[in-house]
A = this chain, B = another copy of it.
């Protein structure tokens, strides 16, 4: 579907395929009543939930546990003015089940930062939307 604004809408499968290509996305949430955004590396779980790994003391964990957040990833090429973006919107939940924590320690994302203790956060892929401008990056 080509919108008036020149973007093609992407279907859920295409969105998840693109999301799996990039290492870093951005958690979008509210902090002290203001819009907040934090880039973080992630992985996709088998049920298409976004999995983040952070530290128990992080502000992020306190701000998003149990809350509906957005998670965005994109790739753009300024030369060809093409690219895509995908947004997942869903509830974020800190993983408290020990077996689930153990599983994600093996298959979940590594942290890019030194961490003594890891906390995993899952964001349900309840709503998945994506759009594409041009076609330059989609096939890569």
Contacts and interface: CB of A to CB of B under 8 A. Distances in A.
Interface of A: 4-7, 23-24, 26, 28-30, 34-39, 41, 55, 57-58, 68-70, 72, 74, 76, 78, 81, 83, 85, 87, 89, 112-114, 133
A46 B6 CA distance: 29
A76 B39 contact: yes
Q: Is chain A's binding surface mostly helix, strand, loop or mixed?
A: strand
A5 B58 contact: yes
Contacts of A55: 4-5
A34 B92 CA distance: 13
Given A5-B55, A112-B133, A113-B5, A28 B39 contact: no
